[in-house]
Amino acid sequence: MWIKKTDEEYLQYNKQKKRQRYDYKRPLLVAVGLWSVGILFAVIGHGTRYTGWHSGASINEVLSWLKVYFVPWFVLTFICLYLLQLMLGAIKLERSNTVICDKCFKPCAKGKSIYCQCGGNLESIERWNWVE
List C-alpha distances in Å: 125 to 20, 42, 94. Answer: 19, 49, 13
pTM of the model: 0.53
Its domain, for residue 120, covers 98-130
Residues 118 and 62 in one domain: no
pLDDT tens, position by position, 109-124: 888 888 888 888 898 8
| Rounded Cα–Cα distance for residues 121 and 95 (Å) | 18
Residues 86 and 102 in one domain: no
Residues 24 and 70 in one domain: yes
Structural domain total, the chain:
2
Torsion of CA 9, 14, 15, 20, to 10 degrees: 130
pLDDT tens, position by position, 30-48: 999 988 887 777 666 655 5
28, pLDDT greater than 80: yes
pLDDT tens, position by position, 81-100: 999 888 887 556 556 788 88
Residues 77 and 123 in one domain: no
Residues 34 and 62 in one domain: yes
